[in-house]
Structure 1
Amino acid sequence: MAGARVVLWDFDGPICTLFARHPSVGVAAGFVEWLNRLGLAELLDEKERRLEDPQAVLRAIDRRHRGSDLVAEMEERLTKEELHAAAGAMPTAWADPLIRTWKAVGSRLAITTNNSPQAVRKYLKSRDLLSCFAPHIYGRTRDLGLLKPDPHCLNRALNAMGAHPSTALMIGDSLFDATAAHRAGVSFLGYARDEDKEKSLREAEVEDIVGSLEPLLRLLRERPTNLTG
């Protein structure tokens, strides 16, 4: 956290659990069922048809038909599902006060996510957090090849904010987040809400991991100047 004048946040995980009340496994299964109805079941192999992450299903189709109308329609469907999920998303403990405090002590904040920026804005507005980030919300575009682990959304945020990577910190909960931060030259702090998340981050050789955001808030309140450069 020392010297982090810019903080780049992943969305689903560190800020909230997006699909808390609208389970992602059901959304993924809905995608598979929809492809079956279209007679396109063969586009997914047996393992892919059992995926529980709708983004993983979307990526699988995109790998085979990048830029196609089918991929565009699936992305639109996923955006609608994420917008629906945002209404029932569960806030991550301590995220709201940490965001507000980091903003209050002078750091600049941005969202760098693989989720729809529309869903992000809807959630942040519901928590009265939109002003802490806007206009710096960088999410999924139609070009799915630019999703993390590609650093595209991080680079967009840094460029828009006129920030050097050495002044930035990213908070994320996945291998994709860690890889994107590394490629962008940004320091990375892993957030692991459970043992499985921590194990996957450790396997990705992430050294700095927290299981709660509360220690970050405590540090920021105790030493705000030292921790914001």
Structure 2
Amino acid sequence: MLKYAASLSEDDVRYVEAAFTAHEVEAMTTAETTEGAHELIQAWHASGRPLAIVSNNSAAAISTYLDFHGIRPLVDVVSTRESADVGLLKPRPYLTRALA
């Protein structure tokens, strides 16, 4: 859908991306957490190794999730979708910048 909106106009792709972000943030409040995920995050942090989250979701959705569950202090790097630039979405390796 985002690629289609980008083919129409820059305004359309920005509008659709903003709508996606709003829906992602809203969905976060009802999404089920993967069993054991928070325990893994806590154990990883306790080991002293840095932890990065890499996601094709919006920064707002990831930030909301981390804050909602009180685990933001356990995460060192968050690399997310930051714009409506469809050229940066999967399968592009853009988000691998978190490895640096």
Give the structure-2-normalised TM-score. 0.88
Deviation of 1:153 (Å): 1.2
Aligned pairs (5 A) from 1:33-182: 57-62=1-6, 64-65=7-8, 68-134=10-76, 136-142=77-83, 143-155=85-97, 157-159=98-100
Contact 1:115 1:139 in 2 (8 A): yes
Q: Root-mean-square deviation (CA), in Å?
A: 1.5
Alignment gaps of 5+ in structure 1: 1-56, 160-229
Alignment gaps of 5+ in structure 2: none
Deviation of 1:61 (Å): 2.9
Aligned length: 99
In the alignment, residue 148 of structure 1 is paired with which amino acid? Answer: K
Deviation of 1:87 (Å): 1.3
Aligned pairs (5 A) from 1:183-194: none
In the alignment, residue 4 of structure 2 is paired with which amino acid? Answer: A
Deviation of 1:126 (Å): 1.3
Aligned pairs (5 A) from 1:209-228: none
Contact 1:89 1:123 in 2 (8 A): no
Question: What SS does the aligned partner of 1:99 have?
Answer: helix
Deviation of 1:145 (Å): 1.0
Contact 1:83 1:122 in 2 (8 A): yes
In the alignment, residue 22 of structure 2 is paired with which amino acid? Answer: K
Q: Give aligned-pair identity as a percent.
A: 34
Contact 1:124 1:130 in 2 (8 A): yes
Give the structure-1-normalised TM-score. 0.41
Mapped to 2, the partners of 1:141 and 1:121 lie a distance apart of 12
Query: Whose Rg is larger?
Result: 1
Deviation of 1:148 (Å): 2.3
In the alignment, residue 141 of structure 1 is paired with which amino acid? Answer: E
